[in-house]
Each structure stands twice: as structure tokens, then as C-alpha cells.
Amino acid sequence: MSIYALMLFAHIVGAIGVFVSVGVWLFAALALRRAPQVGQVRALASLIQPSGVVAIVSILVLGVAGFYMGITAWGERATWIIVATLSLLLLAPFGAFVIDPRLRAVAKAAAEVPDGPLPAALAARTHDPLVGMGLTTYLGVLLGIVYLMTNKPSTGASIIVMVVAAAVGLAAGLPLWWTTRTSKRELQKQSG
């Protein structure tokens, strides 16, 4: 078995890990929006930390293996690799510095309140529209990267694919933003 074959395997395993962790984050974020009890929020929040660790390890494995394959097999002629790499490099900090901390804040807040119905402050955190929109955008970009990996388009086409993938992911998250705004308005009308 060649080193390239091992790196290809590692690259695919890394990609699976990234999709699994983002999928768990998205599942938890969507389920948190429907959780009426603090205990349910705690249970869902328990998925967050392991998913963050899986995401980080998977991105590292994906990156190391992808870098090796890019250098040894494709070289500078594969500009789609550069577009995919830049897309992933732009995306990774958003997960680490925006999505993960917000989900961890929900977990911490849920740990600090007693069991029972969700307090208003915790309910507001569970409906953070940036988390849902961020995750759908994240997923869209990841799917765009998979498209680049499987179709290997030209530089211009690669850039277009990534812009469209990000736009589709962002658009998929707009209903979450809209329902959060609508829910806030309804709560304000009821309390005011």
C-alpha cells in the first residue's frame, strides 16, 4: 500500500469527521430551539464539546493528508485545491470562534439554572440565529469543497462554486433568523 493511498484514506476519514461534527452541531442547534425544559437543553448541550473536538481533529487530519496529496500528486496545476483550502481556512475560525463558543455558552447557562422550564435568558440563547445560519453556511461551504474535490474545476469555476455554495448555505439559514426575530417580537408583545 502506498503512502498516497494512506493519505487518501486519512483525507476521506477527516472529511467524514468534519461532516459528522458539523451535523451534530446542527442537530443540537436545531433541537435546542425546540427544547422547553432545562434538562433537555443540558442533554443536547452534552453533544457540543465532543463535536468540537472531533471537528478540530478531523480538520487537522484532513488538512495534513490533503496537503500531502496536493503537493505530491497535483502540484500547482490544481488550482481547485487552492480554492478549497482557502475556503476551509476561512471557514474553520468561524466554527472555532463563533459557533462553538455560542453553543458552549448555552451549555454553561443550562448548567447554572435549576431543572424546569427554560428561563427567558436561556431560551434566548437557544434561539441564537447566528448559530443556525453559521452552521447551514458551514455545511454549504463543506459541500462546495466536496464538489471541488470530486469535479476538479478550473479556478474561475471553483470560485463560482464556492460563492454559490456559501450563498445557498446562508439562504438555508435565513428561516432560522426569521423565526428568531418573529419569536422575539411575539415575546415582546406578550410581556409589554
Residue 187 has pLDDT above 70, yes or no: no
Residue 95 has pLDDT above 90, yes or no: no
Mean pLDDT score, 128-153: 92
The parent domain of residue 76 ranges over 3-191
Residues 17-39 have pLDDT tens digits of: 999 998 998 899 889 999 999 99
Tell me what pLDDT residue 185 has: 65
Name the pLDDT band for 78 (thresholds 50, 70, 90). confident
Tell me what pLDDT residue 176 has: 82
Using CA atoms, how far apart are residues 56 and 184, in angstroms rounded to an integer?
Answer: 33
Tell me what pLDDT residue 171 has: 95
Tell me what pLDDT residue 190 has: 54
Tell me what pLDDT residue 94 has: 83
Tell me what pLDDT residue 52 has: 83
Total of domains in the chain: 1
pTM, 2 dp: 0.84
